[in-house]
Amino acid sequence: MSIVALGSGSGLIPLPYEMFVLTERMPIVFSAHMLTSAVALLLMPAVILTRHRPQVHRMLGRLVGAFVVAGGLTALPVAIVSDSSIAARAGFFVQGLVWIVLLARGVSEIRSGDRRRHAIFMLAMFAVATGAVWFRLLTGSAIIMQLPFAPVYAASAWLGWLIPLSLVVIYRRSATALLSPRRI
């Protein structure tokens, strides 16, 4: 099993080998990625909950946006130098790009005055961010179930964020279909 414990042999946080290698290769960039991405993910619900308080929503949204940019930009070199398979590295790299693009689209939509499209792009951005949680659940389950780790790790690098993003797209399409006038 490719697991290494972080914390000077204390076994506090079991890390997949690929993540352990990253802490050795890029300690500052990888730590910055993990910290900024985690803060963005943790603050996103607060942004959603304050949508009816424009000043607070804007302030929190800008703060989250800064963390998303930092987390997304640091994800790119981390994905490139990772010891993971090319499939896993590509999944992480594309996730970082998609995260930044969705933020940019959301900002563009609100600046053009389209609150509905802004909300959809921000929800999609949040869905992509939850990929970090789903990725860890999938890989943790693979460890517990003693599944072949490398293929699960690679698949999880894609599925962890693609499935939540797909659900947002499906939701948006079904909501649009329900709200649009029926053609006879």
DSSP codes joined into one string, 4-26: EEETTT--SEEEEHHHHHHHHH-
User: Rounded to an integer, what distance in angstroms lies between the CA atom of residue 159 and that of residue 23?
Assistant: 24
pLDDT at 182: 53
- How confident is the model over 31-72, as pLDDT tens digits? 999 999 999 999 999 999 999 999 999 999 999 999 999 999
The backbone region for 7, taken as left when phi is positive above 0, alpha when psi lies in -120 to 50, beta otherwise, is left
pTM over 0.85: no
**Tens digits of residue pLDDT in 85-133:** 999 999 999 999 999 999 999 999 999 999 999 999 999 999 999 999 9
Predicted local distance difference test score (pLDDT) of residue 77: 96
Q: Give the Cβ contact number of residue 36 at 10 Å.
A: 20
Phi and psi torsions of 51, nearest 5°? -60, -20
